[in-house]
Amino acid sequence: MDAALWGLVGLAVLVFLHIGVQGLALKAAAGNAWSVGPRDAPAPLAPVHGRLRRALDNLLESAPVFLSLALVAHLAGRLGPLVEVGIAMFLAGRLAFLPAYAAGIPWVRTVFWYVAGIGLLLMLIGVTMP
């Protein structure tokens, strides 16, 4: 497998991680009775759960861009240093973003968000430039 395909595997792991952490936080805040019940009433949530939910939503907003760029890089044979560094930056930035956002560290999480965004930009340049 090439770097683009490994990047897609990394994205899948990140999504599972985000969903798992967010789900565990929800269960901890709402309790077993709510999580196995009909969920007719909203769950009582702690602030950390809201941050984890927003972090998941944020990842899911950028995931299609990463997915499309990684697929184009793989299918068009456009893997190169820019794409590979971009893949690593995106995955590392998104991985670091989760605990920073969960902890409520505003400036640090923003830096990690920018690292991931620059990674996407590098991937875009790498697949479109001759």
> Is this structure's pTM higher than 0.85?
yes
Per residue in 96-120, pLDDT (tens digit) is 999 999 999 989 999 999 999 999 9
In this prediction, residue 33 carries a pLDDT of 83
What is the CATH architecture of 3-37+46-128?
Answer: Up-down Bundle (1.20)
What span, in angstroms and rounded, lies between the C-alpha atoms of 102 and 104? 5
Q: Is the pLDDT of residue 49 over 90?
A: no
User: Per-residue pLDDT for 34 more than 90?
Assistant: no
- Residue from 91, 96, 95, 98 nearest 119 by CA: 91
pLDDT of residue 32: 81
Domain range annotation of the chain: 3-37+46-128
Look at residues 130, 118, 128 and name the one whose alpha carbon lies nearest to residue 85: 118
* 76: DSSP letter: T
Residue 43 confidence (pLDDT) above 90: no
